[in-house]
A and B are shown apart, each in its own frame.
Chain A
Amino acid sequence: MNDKVAPNLLGTIEDDELDEPIPAMQQLLDNPFLLLFIGVAMPTVLYVIWGVMEIVSIPMAK
């Protein structure tokens, strides 16, 4: 396959660092399923669950 074109689209962060240990932050960024978990859990807890808990704790009118 042709590897010559659009090298900057296809270039990656560690092209010239493959033999060095991968930093922890990069390992996090390289794991899409861990990111998926964080990306769903954060707004679910901080926006949805927190918001719903506030609404259900509103006292009923008498």
Chain B
Amino acid sequence: MINRNFRTDPATGLVFHETAEKLIRANAVAAVVSLLVGGILAFFVIMTRWPAVHLLPADWFYLVLTAHGVDMLVLWIIFFEIAVLYFAGCVLLKCRLAAPKWAWTGFWLMVIGGIMNNVAVFRGDSSVMFTSYVPMGAHPAFYLGLILFAVGALIGCFVFLGSLVVAKSEKTYNGSLPLVTFGAVVACIIAVFTIASGAIILIPTFLWSVGLIPTIDSLMYKTVWWAFGHSSQQINVSAHVAIWYAIAAIVFGAKPMSEKVSRGAFLLYIFFLQLASAHHLLSDPGLTSNWKIFNTSYAMYLAVLASMVHGLTVPGAIEVAQRQKGYNRGLFEWLRKAPWGNPVFSGMFISLVGFGFLGGISGVMMGTEQLNLIIHNTIYVPGHFHATVVVGTTLAFMAMTYFLIPTLFRREIMFPKLAKWQPYLFGLGMSGFALFMMGAGTLGVPRRHWDMTFAGNPLGYEFAGTAYLMMGLTAICGLIAIIGGGAYLLITVGSVFFGKKIDVPEYRTLTLREGAAPRPVRQPVAVAIGAHHGNIGIAGFVAPGTFTLAMVFLVAFVLYYFVNWKYLSTVWPLS
């Protein structure tokens, strides 16, 4: 029998289907548990890579780094993304979840796979890093755990797509999908490609680990694996951009400046975003420059263009909404008067700025074949992806959590003063962490390496003192970010389990007719235009502050790009 129990949140008007709500909660809780484990491991990674401390022995360092990578880049992110998919599908479309039994099967497969992979790593014989490049071999449970997790996530994606079909057939919405749901569809599409690529390479690798396949070609492995490894981080981009739009609407009542442009940008993600995986192979022999340049420079720049469009339209929409509320003076009154004490907004805005300035610009630099030579396999690479995945995605997810605790978990947020400061602690700490890692990487400090002094090695290398300074600053900023992450865990876990309950109306069964969306009222065009922007802005620009910020971004982008070409000319003299 189909469960048609729904409840309406009185504060927001959002409509929760009973099964969808339970699954969103379950996935969010699993995500936060993964974040807790990954965060504890982050402390040990930081304290070991800090040359002045150098905490763990080599074997423990590689074990801890492997588990940190899997728990953060796979478990935390994808559990939360499945929660986002169900939220953007069922809650925003006010529809029931399709195939609840399959959804729970997928969830438990993900849980079992995640635990199996972690057990394999903590046994001590699977310290192969997140990338698990062959011919380094891990315990078969390492690969099997990842495969089970991926299958579970794939089921979650198809349950989400099924829910879209349910919503359309039961007419719970009219017209096109809402923009936030559309962003979730894009994340889901990228996830399907990602998981399929993971299956293509991890299933044979699992068979190799149990002795059924004699060998796996290392370049073939790397090429296909990165279609999984990097694309999995592109799911994040689409998901957190969808969350930016959602938060702009939730906090400010902002409408996108142009839905068509925003949807067009998401379409560019579908076409091109996943090709950027190739930048991991820019220094590998065997693949031609045609393949490398098309997949990075040619195609990736179109995906970058899409990110810049989102980076312009989200703050632009906020600026327009603020100016319409009367914050219309000068270039930045709308920004000064924004609710900086609300962690939903501050987390989202720091995520947006950090993702663009730190993660975006450095990503384009890395995707340029020649410039990639400067930083390939240095600690610059984790610097870049901590800016994108942690400042960008994780902070956006954290910001969304502050909205979900009262609406989804029906609890008041505990430690509200700490919650005000948490996005700043985490976001600014992690921004410094990423920035200083990129600085150390530019000086050549290797990634994943236990000891940058190379003590006792026959072929040692003496880094400049600045490199050690950069690594020390990286560690200090990392510790600040860990305190911020700990505060997030304290607030979320405390609120969900011990927070004051919010009384809301319980579920009631809705008939199909009750659940159908009413037909929207047609508005006269002149009224619609007037209501859209009104008399705001400066000199014909409705969002001049955002335009100015975009110009600052462009100048930073051009300067950084130029500086790296200049730097390349000094490390690679041609005359």
B18 to chain A minimum Cβ distance, whole angstroms, is 14
Contact string against B for A residues 2-45, beta-carbon threshold 8 Å, 1 for contact and 0 otherwise:
11111111111111101100000010111011011011101110
A-B pairs with beta carbons under 8 A, tally: 155
Report the separation of the CA atoms of residues A40 and B278 in the bound assembly, to the nearest whole angstrom.
16
Which residues between 368 and 414 of chain B lie within 8 Å of chain A, taking CB atoms?
none
Main secondary structure on B side of the interface with A = helix
Q: Contact between B522 and A29 (Cβ–Cβ < 8 Å)?
A: no
Report the separation of the CA atoms of residues A33 and B185 in the bound assembly, to the nearest whole angstrom.
10
Report the separation of the CA atoms of residues A47 and B6 in the bound assembly, to the nearest whole angstrom.
43
Q: Contact between B178 and A35 (Cβ–Cβ < 8 Å)?
A: no
A46 interface contact, C-beta 8 A: yes
Q: Contact between A43 and B275 (Cβ–Cβ < 8 Å)?
A: yes
Contact string against A for B residues 203-244, beta-carbon threshold 8 Å, 1 for contact and 0 otherwise:
000000000000001011001100100010000000000000
Report the separation of the CA atoms of residues A49 and B517 in the bound assembly, to the nearest whole angstrom.
44
Chain A residue with minimal CB distance to B527? Answer: A16
B349 to chain A minimum Cβ distance, whole angstroms, is 18
Report the separation of the CA atoms of residues A15 and B275 in the bound assembly, to the nearest whole angstrom.
34
The answer to whether A42 and B271 touch (CB under 8 A), given A33-B161, A52-B224, is yes
Chain B residue with minimal CB distance to A41? Answer: B193
With a CB–CB cut-off of 8 A, which chain B residues contact A14?
175-176
With a CB–CB cut-off of 8 A, which chain B residues contact A13?
175-176, 179, 259-260, 263
Chain A residue with minimal CB distance to B15? Answer: A1
With a CB–CB cut-off of 8 A, which chain A residues contact B271?
38-39, 42
Q: Contact between B249 and A43 (Cβ–Cβ < 8 Å)?
A: no
With a CB–CB cut-off of 8 A, which chain B residues contact A51?
223-224, 278, 281, 287, 291, 295
With a CB–CB cut-off of 8 A, which chain B residues contact A38?
270-271
With a CB–CB cut-off of 8 A, which chain A residues contact B37?
none
| Stretch in B43-51, B97-105, B250-258, B564-572 touching the partner | B250-258
Chain A residue with minimal CB distance to B223? Answer: A51
Residue of B177, B179, B220 near A55 (CB, 8 A) is B220
**Would you give 12 A-B contacts (Cβ < 8 Å), ordered by A?**
A1-B6, A1-B15, A1-B510, A6-B12, A12-B175, A26-B176, A28-B267, A32-B177, A35-B267, A36-B192, A39-B190, A55-B223
Besides A30-B177, A36-B161, 12 other CB < 8 A contacts?
A: A6-B13, A13-B179, A13-B259, A13-B263, A19-B522, A32-B177, A39-B193, A40-B193, A46-B275, A46-B294, A48-B200, A51-B287
**The 5 nearest A-B residue pairs measured at CB:** A5-B13, A39-B189, A12-B175, A43-B274, A8-B249
